[in-house]
Copies of this chain bind each other. A is one copy, B any other.
């Protein structure tokens, strides 16, 4: 941590800063220059972050040096983390191809979608039973009945499943049915919820918040990891921006950016990022080329009758065409796509 003092600090001000640092059991290094005096403090930055040194009279800026996350960092765990969910590996060269409808709407339709995405090459089935909707008057999901249907579809077609959990009180229930617990963008900083899924032993799919920095995303992963659950998959799904022709702005640079700092797998959701079926396939391919550990694509057999987010879903034919392009690309960049069958469970 580096403390920059305002121009012409008094001796009393300097003394006061040095004292506060000493109170914390740390050793300061002072450098007096012509136009500025700076104080370097190298040591347990975690301890200093709790101290609002910026509020001290005469301090102009406090510049942190160390990263504020630990368990999520590459320094802590140098190799890529590889998760294995019912035989499907994610990370370290293995791609998660997550597909399915936004919301679970009924057994017949989910089974049909599951069969189609499995045939096209998806290896994980998604579907929401609890839906975060902007309007209280919109369809809010089927709840436990939906989870039961999702589990049945996963079993029937040999795919592990992922479903969103929105409320700490739902964690036990969703944990009973789904193979991966999803934290949605709106809940990325719902810290009590992060702690609760951190106490399970299920993989957590953590989506980036709509205005979260990459550092914020890693700090939220740290909440889950710090509870003892080391199975976190990050998901870039676009952030809010001024561009009004797409739903969000997909920040693909987050993929290599995360990989440089963290061992956690990161996948990309081009469906929520763009909100436009005409852009989804290009962005899914770009994600794989950028090094993502998978994609998350909404697929619906009849988008115009979907109860949630229909306009951004691919139809199964479009998804199959995307997979036909994605497979050779994955091979070119040395990635494999596991299926339940392809790996000994």
Contact = CB atoms under 8 A, between A and B. Distances in A.
B135 A49 contact: yes
A82 to B, nearest CB: 20
| Interface bin, chain A | 35 or more
A158 interface: no
B223 A245 contact: no
Interface string A32-64: 111110101011011001111111100001010
A239 interface: yes
Nearest to A187: B190
Copies of this protein in the assembly total 4
Nearest to A16: B304
A166 to B, nearest CB: 6
A222 interface: yes
B166 A169 contact: no
Contact of A253 (B2, B7, B250): B250
A315 to B, nearest CB: 9
A205 B116 CA distance: 44
Nearest to A166: B192
Contacts of A29: 29, 31
A289 B285 contact: yes
A272 B273 CA distance: 22
Given A55-B303, A134-B219, A242 B213 contact: yes
Interface string A147-171: 0000000000000000000111110
Interface string A259-300: 010000000000001100011001101111111000000000
Contacts of A223: 136
Nearest to A289: B289
Interface stretch (A89-97, A174-182, A306-314): A306-314
Contact of A56 (B31, B43, B304): B304
Contacts of A36: 42, 65-66
Given A190-B190, A192-B166, A2 B63 contact: yes
A199 interface: no
A197 to B, nearest CB: 13
A249 B246 contact: no
Contacts of A253: 246, 249-250, 273-274, 279, 282-283
Contacts of A134: 68, 189, 216, 219
Contacts of A133: 191
A286 B244 CA distance: 23
12 contacts: A2-B40, A56-B304, A68-B135, A135-B219, A168-B169, A169-B192, A170-B192, A213-B242, A241-B241, A250-B253, A253-B274, A256-B282
Given A241-B251, A246-B257, A249-B251, 16 more contacts: A29-B29, A36-B65, A52-B309, A54-B310, A136-B219, A167-B193, A211-B242, A213-B243, A215-B245, A241-B242, A242-B242, A249-B249, A252-B286, A289-B290, A328-B332, A329-B332
